[in-house]
Amino acid sequence: MSEFKKLVFSGVQPTGNLHLGNYLGAIRKFVALQEDSDCIYCVVDLHAITAQLVHEDLRAQTRSIAAAFIAAGIDPVKHIVFNQSAVPQHAELAWVFNCVARIGWMERMTQFKDKSGKNAEQVSLGLLAYPSLMAADILVYRATHVPVGDDQKQHLELARDIAQKFNIDFGGQIKSAGLGLDIVVGEEPVHAYFPMVEPLIGGPAPRVMSLKDGSKKMSKSDPSDLSRINLMDDVDAISKKIRKAKTDPDALPRETEGLKGRPEAENLVGIFAALADKSKAEVLQEFGGQQFSAFKPALIDLAVNVLAPINLEMRRLLDDTNHIDAILRDGSERAGVIAEKTMNEVRDIVGFLR
Ligand code: TYM
């Protein structure tokens, strides 16, 4: 049996300010993975128009995410950083996947249900098909590993379902074109053109919660800016938001068990651990028994130490838009070569006349 070559892919939408959830759930992992894997990181501007069509500053937002990637430590020369719309093969493969996937699969997505609410008939068709484009983003590179926050887990399961259905529906064509690999899915040997993507979700902060409400995800769309730390926040804003973060009156526990039922405490300990590259247990060994009045200043120091240099470098990079644009163009060209190879094969498998 063979295996697909390890390749990491992930994407971030250029909508609203990046926050600590995006950084700890995704971007910090992107940085770590480049040590031992080939990585492709994408600013997903096609996804950005699914929920809101007209953006005054989509180009600026796109540059800002690219700047955040690079400021956080992603190397756009060794790896690939680009924007999705510049590689049209994403949209082309998404069309094929729209015909592979079933409407019911899309309607079941919790993010679709949350975003469409009672208005499901009135949202864009793009919002419904969003996960199909996401599967295409990954599979147009036949990428195998996808670092994301916990909220994307269901979308990645769907990407696996789409890959599997494509592999089965076109099984004969894949074999007769001499394409694909024999892999094992579960216990079953299958001949696959697309790999089964592995989500990389772990770590101490896979779901960073709102600073105001430990039961809600930290989110770009929360109306309260105090609920999140933005990557562009200055030292004063970071300090103020952590000082005002909701907590409970008890001291921190000495063991992770003691965090159960204390969502705000669990969130702040998880944030500390992720920023310090430690486990929650290690953080509690240090701070167990102490009050939040002692823990919060240490968290402020740590957050400022990690985020201030990123913030500074982002501002420096954004001063020279030509430089960022050149990086994205170079990335798009290199991504386009890989994507076009896949699409040529997919066109043959599906049977489009060329
Ligand atoms: P997006 O732009 O909403 O978020 C980018 C990344 O940040 C993670 N994230 C969080 N992690 C922990 N705690 C939080 N509170 C939090 N909020 C956001 C997200 O899980 C994500 O990893 N659909 C994707 C973008 C996308 C994509 C892809 C990702 C498009 N194509 C292909 C992977 C592969 C999204 O909207 O992410």
Summarize pLDDT for 52-65 with one digit per residue, the tens. 999 999 999 999 99
Is the pLDDT at 17 greater than 90? The verdict is: no
**Average pLDDT for residues 190-215, to the nearest whole number?**
96
| CA within 13 Å, CB half, 52 | 10
Amino acid, single-letter form, for residue 212:
K
Summarize pLDDT for 312-326 with one digit per residue, the tens. 999 999 999 999 999
pLDDT score recorded for residue 157: 98
Question: What's the mean per-residue pLDDT of the chain?
Answer: 96
Residues 6+ apart with CB under 8 A from 258: 252, 284, 288
Residue of minimum CA distance from atom 18 in ligand 1: 22
Summarize pLDDT for 299-313 with one digit per residue, the tens. 999 999 999 999 999
Summarize pLDDT for 31-47 with one digit per residue, the tens. 999 999 999 999 999 99
pLDDT score recorded for residue 353: 95
- 260 exposed, middle or buried (CB, 10 Å; 0-12, 13-18, 19+)? exposed
Yes or no: say if 309 and 238 are a contact pair by the CB < 8 Å rule: no
Q: What are phi and psi of 147, to 5 degrees?
A: -80, 125
Yes or no: say if 251 and 290 are a contact pair by the CB < 8 Å rule: yes
pLDDT score recorded for residue 1: 60
**Is 5 part of the annotated catalytic residue set?**
no
Summarize pLDDT for 253-272 with one digit per residue, the tens. 999 999 999 999 999 999 99
CA atoms of 48 and 281, how far apart (whole Å)? 38
Active-site position among 212, 220, 240, 341: 220
Strands (E), the chain: 7-12, 38-43, 80-83, 145-147, 181-185, 188-192, 198-200
Q: Which of 44, 97, 114, 152 to mutate to test the pocket of ligand 1 (most atoms within 8 A of CB)?
A: 152
* pTM for the model: 0.97
**Average pLDDT for residues 139-151, to the nearest whole number?**
98
Class of domain 225-317: mainly alpha
Residues 6+ apart with CB under 8 A from 136: 90, 91, 93, 94, 96, 97
Ligand 1 centre from 11 Cα, in Å?
Answer: 7
**Is 118 part of the annotated catalytic residue set?**
no
**Could you tell me where in the chain the CATH 1.10.240.10 domains are found?**
225-317
Yes or no: say if 142 and 179 are a contact pair by the CB < 8 Å rule: no
Q: What are phi and psi of 217, to 5 degrees?
A: -65, 140
**Could you tell me where in the chain the CATH 3.40.50.620 domains are found?**
8-204+320-350
Class of domain 8-204+320-350: alpha beta
Token pair of 328, please?
Answer: 């994205």
Ligand 1 centre from 100 Cα, in Å?
Answer: 24
Summarize pLDDT for 84-141 with one digit per residue, the tens. 999 999 999 999 999 999 999 999 999 999 999 888 889 999 999 999 999 999 999 9
